[in-house]
Amino acid sequence: MSGALDDTHEPALQSWVESANADETDFPIQNLPFGRFRTAGSRSWRVGVAIGDAVLDLQRAGVVKNAGMKQVMGLAPAQRVALRHRISEGLRSGSANEARFREALLPQSQLTMGLPCEIGDYTDFYVGIHHATAVGKLFRPDNPLLPNYKWVPIGYHGRASTVNVSGTDFPRPSGQQRGADDSRPVFGPSQRIDLELELGIFIGRPSTQGSPIPIEHAEEHVFGLALFNDWSARDLQAWEYQPLGPFLAKNFASTVSPWIVTMEALAPFRRPFVRSAGEPEPMPYLDSRANREHGAFDIGLEVWLQTAEMRAAGSPGQRLSRSNFADAAYWSVAQLVAHHTVNGCDLRSGDLLGSGTLSGPLTDQAGSLLELSQGGKQALTLANGEQRTFLLDGDAIILRGHCERQGARRIGFGECRATLLPARDPG
């Protein structure tokens, strides 16, 4: 399990990129997240690392040679650490490589960011126990969690083709819906579009079909984490999800932030992975000493809403909720990888695992409007007087995440944003 601290995590470390030394930046030299970008007029994606308000072109800096993101993500753990050290050394104040690296530095504001990698397969899990409990109470007040929840990581295979990078807006989806008092379903635009606050787990090293990944080695196959919003059409979902699960309610759009924060960057923010007293012990293939000792990640998460009216008034929006990955997740990253492969399923570089909605136990820690509005029964009154149960056309959702603790430099995930557009004519 990765997690060793070294001089790249030193909180006093400074960069010759001045914006990387600002207290408020998500991308200090201690972070160094990976993504893909292209310059104006170019059609090819290049691999870069965020540093302050700039991006380092790794190929131009001579750090990698003719390597795409897939090759970088597929590196062995020791090779990834060595790459992190080369980048960190070149960006440090007083580096002998400053001149060469400076020539490869580009303003992030002038670049087009793409998906952080080519996504082959996408699996969405359901690790948020507070979300699962709150939603379960809406439909099964006396038995919110189904019997399997605390024994097996629940998940389903999603649609990779509609995973979009932050900033990609999308139209309101249409589909079948049937209300409680309707004798037959109707077809039309969804009226209950919701957000889901999640983290995306990106697979780095591939595995072999037929060979399960032991939990002790699971994190060796994880490149890093990103913010992820798995949008949901709750009215479509209520009609279609039985007996096979989500379909049109989930496959119309998902949004991921452009930067992958690596497992190495997250090392200072690990926590013990513990469950409350009385919870069932995980089965042996889902348990290890390392996972218990530091398998959780202390990542603060926020949901912001910017309505069209707020945008017109110049307002950045309103925060709806805040939660923490370590407090919300019933299953760890390593457990998800181990379970996904225990039956022989192989994973490939660039595969994406969604965490599921990461809500805390309190009302203001909910990661979906389904929870915040009690299934649409209680409208939220916003600071400007507007009300919402679910999203209206023109609403933008912004997810933010960061890690901070005493004795470590604060790092962030950037922004995960998209705006809901009016429905298109399905004909």
Question: Among 9, 85, 130, 131, which one carries the catalytic annotation?
Answer: 131
Radius of gyration of the chain measured on its C-alpha atoms: 21
Q: Which residues of 16-32 are buried (b: 16+ CB within 10 A; e: fewer)?
A: bbebbbeeebbbbbbbb
Confirm if 62 and 289 have CB atoms less than 8 A apart. Answer: no
- Of 215, 287, 331, 270, whose CA–CA distance to 3 is shortest? 270
Residue type for position 144: P
The phi, psi pair for 239, rounded to 5°, reads -85, -35
User: How many helices and strands in the chain, by DSSP H and E?
Assistant: 10, 26
The answer to whether 65 touches 48, Cβ cutoff 8 Å, is no
Residues in the chain: 427
Query: Nearest 5 degrees, angle CA 85-CA 401-CA 64?
Result: 25
The answer to whether residue 217 is catalytic is no
CA–CA separation, 135 vs 391, rounded Å?
A: 18
Dump the DSSP string for 13-43: --BSSGGGGSTT-S--TTT--EEEEE-TT--
- Beta pairing partners, 319: 304
* Residue 49 near residue 27 (C-beta atoms within 8 A): no
Alpha-carbon distance of 250 to 248, in angstroms, equals 5
Question: What gap in Å lies between CA 352 and CA 355, rounded to an integer?
Answer: 10
Query: CA 375 to CA 258: how far, in whole Å?
Result: 31
Q: What angle do CA 3, 9, 11 make, to 5 degrees?
A: 140
DSSP-derived letter for residue 82 is H
Using CB atoms within 10 Å of the CB of residue 314, give its burial: 0 to 12 exposed, 13 to 18 middle, 19+ buried.
Answer: exposed
- Judged on CB neighbours under 10 Å (0-12, 13-18, 19+), 235 is buried
DSSP state of 382: P
- Type of residue found at 99: A
Nearest to 308 by CA among 391, 184, 365, 402: 391
Q: Residue 48's beta-bridge partner residues?
A: 35, 57
Residues with a known catalytic role? 131
